[in-house]
A and B are shown apart, each in its own frame.
Chain A
Amino acid sequence: MTDQPLTDLLRNRFAAGILVVENTSDMTTVTVSKEIIHDVIMYLHESPETGFGFLTTLCGIHYPDQPLPFGVIYHLHNMEKNIRIRVKTFLPADNLHIPTVTDLFSGANWMERETYDFYGILFDGHPNLIRILNVEYLDYFPMRKEYPLEDPTREDKDNRFFGR
């Protein structure tokens, strides 16, 4: 379902940057371009017409075959009117910089660190962008599709017997 008044508000304000409005079954989904993502989130958070005061979650995603492979997905929630919105933005592989939203939502601090830890997406302006869940000496970004699930250096489990 798509909330028509909400998408109209967004299109009026950010005409060129709103790339796609998808018709997903649960909530309005908007894909925006990377340059305006901070302004879009700020508008959704602070404007009284929209009032999305709660950041539900923030995560990353990796589509290796697409021209803009890395994505960051924000779920916002307007608690007074009970409306949710999903905002997506995609980044090219050679320029993984995106502005942070920790100035708007303090809760985005660890969520962005987790996205950096898993995908290597750099959030400009983040107070402390270091790995959070993995060990510090890990030298790759594990959730990217090219890396396997299992630890290739383990000796006790033989892949032949585990069907992998």
Chain B
Amino acid sequence: MNGSGEKTYTTINLGPTHPATHGVFQNILKLDGEEIISAEQTIGYIHRAFEKIAEHRPYYQITTLTDRMNYCSAPINNLGYLMAVEKLLGIKTPKRVDYMRIILMELARITDHLICNSVIGVDSGALTGFVYVFQERELVYEIYEEVSGARLTTNMGRIGGFERDFTPAAISKIRLFLSRLPKVLKEFEKLLMRNRIFMDRTIGVGGISAERALNYGFTGPNLRAAGVDFDVRAMNPYSSYDDFDFEIPLGTQGDTYDRFCVRQEEVWQSLKLVRNALDNLPEGNFFADVPQYYLPKKEDVYSKMEALIWHFKIVMGEIEVPKGEIYHSVEGANGELGFYIVSEGGRMPYRLHFRRPCFIYYQALPEMITGGVLSDAILTMSSMNVIAGELDG
């Protein structure tokens, strides 16, 4: 008979505008009832050509671009890029700068993990945790404002250090945050972590084995949930991370529950790091002594001849940048965020390639969701913490 007993599959379009895809990317799913047979992805809906723009901007202007990649944890991008440039130029920053950088990067990591975890809650129906946690993020925004002047796209730091030291107001705000967050975090955990419904929805969902994860190039909490303890802060320490003691939480199955728990534990470890760094903040200068890359103080520019000449040379691009290439990576909130800079002299990089962790691990999504149902696919996507700005770049 004509088509009566024949099985047909439904093709549905998840995105690019969809409440559950946090960011603009499209998945075309082929469903057999509710079970997913295959998935095909389209990305590039927010492609802003960062790598091309970076070839047309001087080194100190690219910091504002890096903000907009992973906009949930912008300081990590900023400071990671500045560390890559400092590695290219051969600049060694004083210890105080390193500790200040650790504090800001760990605060950024906390905010990113808080967004990801609360959004996993929202996607499984629990809106309360989201609202509680966002109230605490406002405190971090106030800290960013004290240090750099902006809430979200911070443009933090300069080549060689920071533009200003931590003010007493900034330090008191950090201490306030450190005292307030643990209580809210425990409340958030009580809501979700041993919640029967949440556990049933997330355990065994969207799992990936360690070998497949490594083959795909996973890094960060997604890889640590699969059981591989690769953390750039421990393997290639940068910015004096080796002065500190912190644990690397690991999962076992690589499923959504493991990713949630790994991120939650990383927030506790980051809190410990911030507290240690703030308590042991060494005295010293907040910038390295590199007058050819670090803009002098405005009072000196208007009164001293040498500062005026350095200011002119830096802004007009008369400084000779050494030729060479460098690859430097930091532990971003999503994994190994790498910067590959090729310099042919001149004030602009010849090639700047960003190793964006989201772009690399998002390819594995079809493998993780086929065989599961649609609602599991939604949770898997949100637990992988895909940020569209970093995905497309």
Contact = CB atoms under 8 A, between A and B. Distances in A.
Give yes or no for direct A-B contact (beta carbon below 8 Å): yes
Interface of A: 24-27, 29, 53-57, 59, 61, 73, 75, 79, 82, 84, 86, 105-107, 109-111, 114, 118, 131-135, 142-143, 149
Interface in B24-66: 43-44, 47, 49, 51-53, 55-56
B219 to A, nearest CB: 9
A57 B214 contact: no
B360 A111 contact: yes
Contact of A56 (B215, B355, B392): B355
A29 B55 CA distance: 23
Contacts, number: 89
Given A26-B87, A79-B230, A110 B324 contact: no
Interface of B: 43-44, 47, 49, 51-53, 55-56, 87, 90, 212, 214-218, 228, 230, 235-236, 324-329, 336, 338, 340, 342, 351, 353, 355, 359-364, 392-393
Contact of A107 (B51, B338, B363): B363
Given A57-B338, A57-B353, 5 more contacts: A53-B214, A75-B338, A105-B215, A109-B363, A133-B392
Nearest to A113: B363
B265 to A, nearest CB: 22
A54 B216 CA distance: 8
Contacts of B325: 24, 29
Contacts of B52: 142-143, 149
Given A105-B217, A107-B363, A26 B51 contact: no
A18 B378 CA distance: 47
Contacts of A149: 49, 52-53, 55-56
A79 to B, nearest CB: 6
B91 to A, nearest CB: 13
B360 A54 contact: no
B327 A110 contact: no
Given A82-B236, A107-B216, A109-B363, A56 B338 contact: yes
B15 to A, nearest CB: 15
A26 B216 CA distance: 24
